Amino acid sequence: MLPSIPSGAPGHGAKSVVREVRAYLAGAGVDFGEKASSNWMNGRIAGPLTHFPEYRESKLSWGRDVLGSVVVEVEVASGEVGIGVSTGGPPACWIIENHFARLLEGRQAGEIDVLWDVMWRASLYYGRKGIAIHALSAIDLALWDLKGKMRGEPVFATLNNRARKELPLYATTPRPDLAQGMGFVGGKMPLIYGPADGDEGFALNLKLAEQMRSRTGGEFFLAYDAWLALDVEYARRLVPALAERGFWFLEDFLIPDDYAGFSDIKRRCPPGFHIATGEHEYTAYGFKLLIENQCCDIIQPDVTWCGGLTELLRIEASAEAGGVRLIPHASSVYAYHFMMGRPDLPFGEFVNASDDGASIVPMYGPLFTNEPLPEGGVVRLSSDPGFGVELNPKLRLSRPFLH
């Protein structure tokens, strides 16, 4: 466990006592921000239900957007407010307001590691993975935001004062060729067809891979995100075929708990090809299983889901000890601050949430007034305190539960 902040440090004292924890709903969409049904994220993409014909054409058909986004505010006695986000909808809001709030209110906001441990242990009997950890993650990020604001420094400076000035990014997009023209270092496409689509779908996946490789050339890296859609047999066929076409990695292609399956595919990988996963893994305990079972070359914790920044730091330590590369999954400004303070991490991920991947739009939609966006394939952060983002006052947030 990380050491607590000593008494007298910023974030410690009467002014930094947590006065109230508030949880709001911010619309639908697991990627923060409602999207049109025509958006590429809502279209035909291989997923965990696409072996059922009735759920094959759209992710919306099986409720990927059903929970919605959660915004947490942690206010201390001085009136300063920290902001964190995650997903989990009304269930996460209920956990925050009716369980976690009582564990934080009246305690020191600066004791982030202690508060994390209290929330995690208190929810072990129903939590450990999923919505409870999403709720915990949002609170943890709000506490880090608050810590930076009370210290008068950005979170990246709190983590490491030798932060780089800009962070290169790759784009998750249906159009890697367009992303290359925007200056990104690589492009990750959604896999369109899964095992239920048979040999014809397999061939179409490879045809798209060949098209994008021919359009982008050899220096621009390419990857496929199969989003929990495949089985081991299909992956055994797909990996060498992608390697032959100059792809760099395949991501999240099995259900998250199939550690043996991931390990099997990693052992069979051709030289230079990589296995990536972890977007749907939780806490350092889950990532320890991925690392010890040699499931992947790249772990991809999402800081808004895995347990927040506090837990991401522990996951980072496990990755370093296990010789596995860490490249966070998405999460925009919250991940950027972590990576900006770590010059050894090669690049971050930008999820292009525009309808067709042809323009740059905020990942969180209208949630913030000043979400940092990439320019020329790199992102630069302001020196504003905390994570440096402000909630959009025009956005209609709802608070479904009061404690």
pLDDT at residue 3, rounded to an integer: 41
Residue 33 has pLDDT above 80, yes or no: no
Mean pLDDT of the chain, nearest integer = 94
pLDDT digits (tens, 9 = 90+) for 155-203: 999 998 778 999 999 999 999 999 999 999 999 999 999 999 999 999 9
* Same domain membership, residue 232 and residue 211: yes
* 85 neighbors 106 (Cβ within 8 angstroms): no
In a domain, 186, yes or no: yes
The C-alpha atoms of residue 159 and residue 164 are separated, in whole angstroms, by 12
Of 134, 280, 329, 337, which one is the catalytic site residue?
329
pLDDT at 218: 87
Assess whether 208 and 313 both reside in one domain. yes
In a domain, 269, yes or no: yes
pLDDT band at residue 143 under the 50/70/90 scheme? very high
Q: Percent of the chain scored above 90 by pLDDT?
A: 86
Q: Work out the pLDDT band at 7, boundaries 50, 70, 90.
A: very low
Provide the pLDDT for residue 11: 54
Q: Are 92 and 50 in contact (CB under 8 A)?
A: no
Q: What is the per-residue pLDDT for 118?
A: 98
Contact 371, 140 (CB under 8 A): no
Query: Do 100 and 173 share a structural domain?
Result: no
Residue span of the structural domain in which 87 resides: 14-27+68-152
Whether residues 117 and 193 fall in one domain: no
Query: For the domain that residue 125 is a member of, what is the CATH number?
Result: 3.30.390.10
Confidence of residue 28 (pLDDT cuts 50, 70, 90): low
Query: Do residue 223 and residue 335 come from a single domain?
Result: yes
Instruction: Provide the domain count of the chain.
Output: 2
Q: Could you tell me if 80 and 184 lie in one domain?
A: no
128 shares its domain with 175 = no
Nearest to 321 by CA among 278, 284, 347, 269: 284
Q: SS3 string of the chain?
A: CCCCCCCCCCCCCHHHEEEEEEEEECCCCCCCCCCCCCCHHHCCCCCCCCCCHHHCCCHHHHCCCCCCEEEEEEEECCCCEEEEEEECHHHHHHHHHHHHHHHHCCCECCCHHHHHHHHHHHCCCCCCCCHHHHHHHHHHHHHHHHHHHHHCCEHHHHHCCCCCCCEEEEEECCCHHHHHHCCCCEEEEECCCCHHHHHHHHHHHHHHHHHHHHHHCCCCEEEEECCCCCCHHHHHHHHHHHHHCCCCEEECCCCCCCHHHHHHHHHHCCCCCEEEECCCCCHHHHHHHHHHCCCCCEECCCCCCCCHHHHHHHHHHHHHHHCCEECCCCCHHHHHHHHHCCCCCCCEEEECCCCCCCCCCCCCCCCECCCCCCECCEECCCCCCECCCCECCCCCCECCCCC
As given in the structure block, the two tokens for residue 332 are: 């925009």
Higher per-residue pLDDT: 59 or 140: 140
pLDDT of residue 196: 96
The count of other CB atoms within 10 Å of the CB of residue 240 is: 13
> Are residue 357 and residue 212 in the same domain, yes or no?
yes
pLDDT at 1 (0 to 100)? 42
If you count them, how many residues does the chain have? Answer: 403
Provide mean pLDDT across the span 371-397.
96
Residue 212 has pLDDT above 90, yes or no: yes
Confidence of residue 6 (pLDDT cuts 50, 70, 90): very low
Rounded to an integer, what distance in angstroms lies between the CA atom of residue 318 and that of residue 118? 22
Q: Is residue 3 part of a domain?
A: no
pLDDT of residue 5: 41
- Same domain as 294, residue 146: no
Q: What is the pLDDT of residue 2?
A: 40
Task: Specify if 46 maps to a domain.
Answer: no
Q: Could you say which of 119, 152, 185 is where a domain stops?
A: 152
Mean pLDDT of 374-383: 97
In angstroms, rounded to a whole number, what is the distance separating the alpha carbons of residues 34 and 395? 12
The model's pTM: 0.95
pLDDT tens digits, 93-103: 999 999 999 99
Query: pLDDT band at 343, cuts 50/70/90?
Result: confident
At 369 the pLDDT is 95
- Do residues 232 and 374 share a domain? yes
Whether residues 220 and 142 share a domain: the answer is no
Average pLDDT over every residue of 224-234:
98
In a domain, 191, yes or no: yes
329 catalytic per annotation: yes
CATH code where residue 181 lies: 3.20.20.120
- pLDDT beyond 80 at 228: yes
Shared-domain flag, residues 94 and 239: no
The mean-pLDDT minimum among 117-121, 260-264, 340-344 falls in: 340-344
Cβ-proximal residues to 58 (8 Å cutoff; 6+ apart), any chain: 37, 42, 43, 44
Q: Looking at the domain assignment, is residue 392 inside a domain?
A: no
Say what the pLDDT of residue 66 is: 86
Q: Residue 277 and residue 289: Cα distance in Å, rounded?
A: 12
